Structure 1
C-alpha cells in the first residue's frame, strides 16, 4: 500500500510540472473508443479561478487545443485485454491530438471504467493543536482513519475527504483556518483491482508518456454531466459506455459511491449481430441509425435492409422490421438498468434528499432510453451532456465525451485526495492501532 501512496504523490508532482509547462493531455481509455484531448493552461487563469464551477461558467483556466479519437482495440469491459493493440490505439489518438495542437505532450492523465471498483466509507478524528486548523491537523485526521480490508490484489484509486466536522459544526467543505478543538473527517475510498492499474501503467509507459494522474470514469463523467445543484443535493450519474456502465453518486459536491456494471452498448450490438446473423460492423450501423427501445404501430411497417456479402442474393437482401430490432435491443438494456437499480438500492440512494438520475455516455443516445430508465429506476431521469469548455470541438460536445471533458476539469481543479497532505508513510492507516489489534485477536 505504501508503494501506491508514493506513486500517487509522484503523479501529483508530475501534474504540477505539466501545469508549469502549460500543456498536458487527458486520455479516456474506453471499450469502444480511445479519445485524447490536449489542454493548454493559462497561469493567470489558474491564479484567477480556483473553483471547478467557474470552469462550468466559461471561465476555465485551460483551453482545448487538440483532439484525437480512434476505435478502441484490446480493451474489454473497460480493462486492457491486449497490451499491444491498446498501445497502438493510444499512440494513434495521442499523435492525432498532437498534430492538431502543433505541440508535443509528455504528461497525460488517464481515466478508465473497469477494474471492478468498490466504495468504502471511513471516519477519523483528531485534536487541533493550536486551536486553528492547519494542514497538519487535517493530515492527522486523515491518518486516524482505519483502512478497511480491501482484499487481495486491490489498490486505492481515490481517497477523498467528503465532510469535515469541527466541534459541533459539520458539513464543512474546508476547515483550514477555522477555530476549534476537535476535528473529524468522513472519507470516501474507492479501490480497484491492482492488475488493471498495472496493465494501464505499462501501456502508458510504452507510449513514452509520463502519467500525471489516474481517475475513475464514473467519477469524472459525473463531474462534467451533473449541474451544480445536482452535485449539491444528491444525484446519480449513469455513464453508459461500450463495454461497461459506470455508476457514481454525488452529494455535497463530492462523490460518495461508485460502481461499474460489466455490460454496455457493445453487448446490445452483439445481441443484434447474433439475432439477425449479420457482422458486428453492420449491427453497429443498424443500431445507430434505426435503433430504439419503444415500439409504435409505425415500426411494424418500417423495414430495414440487411446487407450481406455471402454471395446468396436472397440471404444478402433480407429485411427486418424496426419493431423486431427494438425487440432485440430492449431486453439487454432492461437487464443493464435492472442491475443498476440493484446497485442503487445497495448504496442507499433512496435516502438522498434529491434522487435525480442523469444518463450520459455513448450508449445513452438510444431513443426512448430516458422513458425506459424512468420506469425501471423509478426516479427523475434526464439525458446529460458534458459542460462546454473553451476550445472544445463541436464533435466532442456529445454525451460520448463526458469522461474526456470531466477528466479535463479534474486535471485543472482536482479535489483534495489523501496524498495531497503531508501524511508520513508510517502513519498510513494500513498500520493503524485498530488494524493491529484486530490482527492480534484473529491470530492468537
Structure 2
C-alpha cells in the first residue's frame, strides 16, 4: 500500500459491505478517493455464516472502490462487530526505569502490557488495548505521560476481546479476495473517528451505531473510550417486523421502511395511505401510514433504545453525559430517530455523518445504492451509512502516521548513537 500512500477500510456488515479508499496527503489528512458497496449475504448479526457468500460480497465492493479510485489494493483495515465482542477495563503498574526517572515510550509500553495480564477464556483473543488514563506517582487523569518525571507509573486500559473463530472467518474471507489485513478494528471505535468531535469525547458522549444486524455502543469520557457494548438487534429487525406485520415480502418491507417509515408516529400524517404488496400472489392492498409507524416500527425502535439506556445505566454513566448521544449507521436514517431517542434516553441526540464525505456523495448523487433488500440513492442525507468505512481509513491513517513517527524516533536514536561514537573518536584521537 506504499504507492500513492493509499489506505483502505472494509466495513463488512450484516446488510452491506462497504469499501472506502483514501489517499494520504502531505498534510497527513486522508482524502477519500473511492467508495464501493454491495449487499452482504454471508453474515448474520455481524458474524460470518457463509464464507463463499461473504467473499463474493467483499469482492464486489472492493472492485467498485478500486475502479473509482484507480488503484489496486494490497491490504485493508477490517471492521469487526457482533455479539461475540466483549470488553473489560484493566489496571496495570510498573516502576519507571532509568537513572533520571524520566518516563519513556518503553515505560508506557510496559505499563500497557501490564494491563493485559488478565484471564481470557479459551477461544477468545484481544482485539484492542485502549488506554483510558495514566497515573504518575499518584497524580491522576494524565492523558500521555511521555517525558514526565516519576517513580511509579500506572495505567488503566479498555480491553476489547472477540471470538477467535469469528475473527479468523472474517480475516479468511478478506484473504480469499487476495487482500492482506492490516488490522482488525472494532466498528464503533472506527465510526467514532468519523462522526465524533474531540470536544464531545472530552465532555462525555455516547455513540450509537445502528446497523443491520447489531447496534454498537461506545461511551467516551475525557477524550478516551470507557465502555463498549454490542446489541444483537438492528435495522433488519424493523424490516422483519414490517414483513410479518403487513404480510409482505422482505424486499418490499425494506422499501416501505425507507420510503414511509418513521420512528415517531407523532411526526406523520396518520391518515396517509400506502400500498402494500401481498405475499403468495395476494393482491396489493392499502393501509394507513399511522398503522405502519405506530404499531410496527415505533415499538421496535423504542425497544432498541431501551436496551441502549440499559447499557448506559450498566456502565454507570446515567446523568453524566454532557455531550449527549450521537446516532449513526444505516439505521439512523429512519425518520424520527433523533426525536424518539432523545425522549427515551433523556439526552440531546444528533445524527452523526462523516463531514469529509459530502464531496464524494455529490459526485455519486443520483446513483442507486443497493442495500440488499431495497434501494436508495446516494445523497448527503444518507452519509451516515458510511461512518464505519470512513472511520476505518481515519484509523488506518493514524496507524501509519504513528508508525512513521516511531520509525523516525528509532532513526534518531541510531543517529544519536553514532554521533556519540564519532565525538568519542574525535576527543580521543
TM-score tier after normalising by the smaller chain length: 0.7 to 0.9
In the TM superposition, residue 147 of structure 1 has moved relative to its aligned partner by 2.9
| 1:376 equivalent in alignment to 2:344 | yes
Separation in 2 of the partners of 1:412 and 1:252? 23
Deviation digits for residues 12-65 of structure 1, max 9, x if unmatched? xxxxxx3576123210001111110112223x333xxxxxxxxxxxxx2x2212
Equivalent residue, structure 2, for 1:202: 172
Where does structure 1 lack aligned partners over 5 or more consecutive residues? Answer: 1-17, 47-59, 422-444
The Cα shift of 1:254 comes to 1.5
Name the CA shift for 1:298/1:76 in 2 (closer, same or farther; >3 Å). Answer: closer
What is aligned with 1:159? 129
Residues 249 and 279, structure 2, Cα contact 8 Å, conserved in 1: no
* Partners of 1:212 and 1:257 in 2: CA distance: 25
What SS does structure 1 have at the residue aligned with 2:322? coil
Asked if 1:388 corresponds to 2:373, the answer is no
What does 1:9-408 align with in structure 2 at a 5 Å threshold? 18-19=1-2, 22-42=5-25, 44-46=26-28, 60=29, 62-130=30-98, 131-145=101-115, 147-296=117-266, 299-308=269-278, 310-311=280-281, 315-326=282-293, 327-350=295-318, 352=320, 354=322, 356-388=324-356, 392-394=360-362, 395=378, 397=380, 398-408=383-393
1:413 Cα deviation from its structure 2 partner: 1.3
C-alpha separation between the residues in 2 aligned to 1:135 and 1:153?
A: 31
TM-score using structure 1 length: 0.81
| Contact 1:299/1:321 (<8 A) preserved | no
Question: Contact between 1:63 and 1:390, CA under 8 Å: does it hold in 2?
Answer: no
Deviation at 1:343, TM superposition (A): 1.2
Two-structure CA RMSD over aligned residues (Å): 2.4
- Deviation (angstroms), 1:115: 4.4
> How high is the TM-score relative to the length of structure 2?
0.84
Question: For 1:336-365, what per-residue CA distance to the aligned partner results, in whole angstroms no more than 9, with x for missing partners?
Answer: 111111111111122635251111111112
In the alignment, the residues of structure 1 paired with residue 153 and residue 344 of structure 2 have an alpha-carbon distance, to the nearest angstrom, of 42
The range that moved more, 277-286 or 120-129, is 120-129
Against the structure 1 CA distance between its residues 396 and 108, is the aligned structure 2 distance closer, same or farther, given a 3 Å change threshold?
farther
Cα deviations by residue, 1:132-158 (Å, 9 ceiling, x for unpaired): 111221122123325332323211111
Contact 1:160 1:416 in 2 (8 A): no
Q: 1:338, 1:376 within 8 Å by CA — same for their partners in 2?
A: yes
Alpha-carbon separation, structure 1, partners of 2:339 and 2:43: 30
Are residues 390 and 334 of structure 1, via their aligned partners in 2, closer, same or farther at CA, if it must alter by over 3 Å?
closer
Q: Number of residue pairs matched? A: 385
TM-aligned CA distance change 1:416 to 1:143, over 3 Å:
farther
Is the alpha carbon distance of 1:359 and 1:415 closer, same or farther for their aligned partners in structure 2, counting shifts above 3 Å?
farther
Separation in structure 2 between the aligned mates of residue 96 and residue 377 of structure 1, nearest angstrom: 39
In 1: Cα distance, 2:274 partner to 2:357 partner: 39
> SS of the counterpart of 1:350?
coil
Distance 2:291 2:398 in 1: 47
